[in-house]
Chains A and B, each alone.
Chain A
Amino acid sequence: MGNGILVVCEQENGVPKKTAYELLSKARSLVSEIGGDLSALVIGSGDAADLGTYGATTVYTVDGEDFSSGATGAWLRALETAVNQASPAVVLGAASARTREAFPRLAARLGAGMASECTDLRAEGGRVVGRRPMYAGKAFADVNISSDVALFTVRPNSFPGAAPSGGAAGATALSVSLQDGDLAARVVGTEEPQGQTVDLTEADRIVSGGRPTDSSDNFDSLIRPLASALGATVGASRAAVDAGYASHDEQVGQTGKVVNPSLYIACAISGAIQHLAGMRTSRVIVAINKNPEAPIFQHATYGIVGDIFEICPMLTAEAQRQGIATS
């Protein structure tokens, strides 16, 4: 049985992602209840020095081209090595493209239990319990894990980011030996997106458009400028994506992305159960719809009964006038 918590801190362009600070913040309070040390792991070259001031006693780093190449096998071997080194009771990671493949593989390798996409964690009886949505958010349950080490991934924006705690843990470089097959699946290229670059699942503000935008031109002239004026990421309903107004990776809902922003603005989205499944945990929901009976209003913090062709450009202009995107 291990003890303490190991937080896997993902980074982008050499800088820890926001989720790293969210996880460290939560882990710091959990570890004070379950005991043991808090350690952090940064895989792939990057600036890890900063993380030591956020409550981790040890910051493990794994450097090298193989580890920053995106090869799951190498990333997984680094994870395994860090777990063996730190022998934690709990491993935390953000729910991300990387962990969706590597964490289940790590769980299988260790014979460990795993809870995916938790939206809350708590300590109970010396263990960590995860709470997570299932059935696309129509039900929630606690996940209890009895293996020696328990793995959890957490949705972005589930916890506030940490403030520095004043500690100054140094980085400890881990030496990881790759084994046969670790590089069998190799990343040979990366395709950049044509439009936006913020991951919807990590976005703090989202503006989504529905089918009544009625064309990709309208979607581009109503929804995208509003998102840009609010410093938000663009989302879309399934109907808008299926009609070709927005791209597949912009779809929010049960067969698209599940998002968890502070602000979600639904423009001409009626609120079908499949769409609600993807955004119902948003902190503040704004609905703009000309049908006052649209189910989305039952879930909205603020509602405007009106036509998006009128309201969206006005909202865009007002947000621009107030310089919201940069605030």
Chain B
Amino acid sequence: MKVGVCIKRVPGSDSRIEISDAASGPDLSGVSWEVNPYDSFAIEAALQLQEAGIATDVVVFSVCGADGDAKIRDALAMGKKGVSGASKAVRLDDPAFEGSDALGVARILAAAMNKEGVDIVLAGKQAIDGDSSQVPAMMAEVLGWPSVCQVTQLEVAPGAAKAWRQSGGGKREVVELPTPCVVTCDKGLNTPRYPTLPGIMMAKRKPIEVLDASALGLDPNTVGAAASVVSESGWGSPPSRPAGRILEGESAEVVAQLITLLRDEAKVL
């Protein structure tokens, strides 16, 4: 089986996000980038399928510019001795892609999956920048494939997958679906391995192919700013909280005081 893994580079989770202008998004020029942590679960899942002999090939996909290559190399470097990891990456890059909304990105990825003949797509359940959780499910719909989202356990056999998904309240639903399909990965699925030195050396020699709209057979009018129906405005920082109050006194006093405040002042009990 050929496994496709979608990755996105995002500002590291400890980055400060500063908004200087309400009309444009945050200034990301100074942030340090990392592979979206949920995408790391997807990469690890793909490598485990490779180790089990189920995945015969793993390909990494990313919609980004050449400045995304460093993080693509990080994903390619997760192989180790005996497990080659992803054989290559495909960067989906075209000026026509700029300004795509989530559906535009989904159309680009879907076209790439078709072109590469992927049997199963693994992706993070959300990217921790936009936090929208939209692209993978939209991609499945564009492809006409079944999907299963927020998966914390996964079994794949040729032609079929079985996935345990979070369905709220700690419950998990067990979902069976045929391939080709799209699976989004949640925390708990696995513990992503760190790249090894041989993995990093191997990654340097792995190809990053660049595909544009025409290579994908995509009508440029279906992607990019021209096709986008979603826009953001009114950027701001989180609403500030009123200054809090430190309760002073003996432990027994502050405990009683807290319950009284929660009940009578804040009215949350």
Chain B proximity of A294: nearest CB distance (Å)? 11
Contact of A318 among B125, B165, B255 (CB under 8 A): B255
- A197-230 Cβ-contact flags toward B at 8 Å (1 or 0): 1110110010000000000000000000000001
Q: In the complex the two chains form, is A186's CB within 8 Å of B238's CB? A: no
- B159-197 Cβ-contact flags toward A at 8 Å (1 or 0): 000101111111111111110010000011000000000
Q: In the complex the two chains form, is B142's CB within 8 Å of A108's CB? A: yes
User: Which A residues, 177 to 209, have Cβ-Cβ distances below 8 Å to chain B?
Assistant: 181, 184-199, 201-202, 205
Task: Name the residue of chain B whose CB is nearest to the CB of A287.
Answer: B244
Q: In the complex the two chains form, is A315's CB within 8 Å of B259's CB? A: yes
Complex-state Cα separation, A68 to B9, whole angstroms: 37
Q: In the complex the two chains form, is B187's CB within 8 Å of A256's CB? A: yes
Contact of A139 among B19, B146, B230 (CB under 8 A): B19
Complex-state Cα separation, A274 to B12, whole angstroms: 10
Contact of A104 among B134, B152, B235, B269 (CB under 8 A): B134
Verify if B241 is at the interface (C-beta below 8 Å from A).
yes
Total inter-chain residue pairs, C-beta < 8 Å: 279
Verify if A14 is at the interface (C-beta below 8 Å from B).
no
On chain A, the residues within 8 Å of B129 by CB distance are: 134-135
Q: In the complex the two chains form, is A185's CB within 8 Å of B170's CB? A: no
- B224-252 Cβ-contact flags toward A at 8 Å (1 or 0): 00000111111111110110111100011
On chain A, the residues within 8 Å of B26 by CB distance are: 135, 138-139
Q: In the complex the two chains form, is B13's CB within 8 Å of A255's CB? A: yes
On chain B, the number of residues with a Cβ less than 8 Å from chain A's Cβ atoms is 87
Q: In the complex the two chains form, is A185's CB within 8 Å of B232's CB? A: no
Q: In the complex the two chains form, is B140's CB within 8 Å of A136's CB? A: no
Q: In the complex the two chains form, is B169's CB within 8 Å of A184's CB? A: no
Task: Name the residue of chain B whose CB is nearest to the CB of A116.
Answer: B132
Verify if A248 is at the interface (C-beta below 8 Å from B).
yes
Q: In the complex the two chains form, is A191's CB within 8 Å of B174's CB? A: yes
Chain A proximity of B57: nearest CB distance (Å)? 24
On chain B, the residues within 8 Å of A311 by CB distance are: 251, 254-255
- List 16 interface pairs A-B (beta carbons < 8 Å), by A numbering: A101-B149, A108-B103, A114-B102, A135-B26, A137-B238, A138-B238, A141-B234, A146-B229, A184-B177, A193-B169, A193-B171, A196-B170, A205-B268, A301-B244, A302-B266, A304-B254
* Chain A residues packing against B (C-beta within 8 Å): 70, 72-73, 96-98, 100-102, 104-105, 107-109, 111-117, 131, 133-147, 181, 184-199, 201-202, 205, 230, 247-249, 251, 254-256, 258, 262-263, 272-274, 277, 280-281, 283-287, 292, 297-306, 310-311, 314-315, 318-319, 322, 324, 327
Q: 7 more A-B contacts (CB under 8 A) besides A188-B175, A190-B171, A198-B169?
A: A101-B137, A102-B137, A114-B102, A263-B268, A263-B269, A297-B244, A315-B259
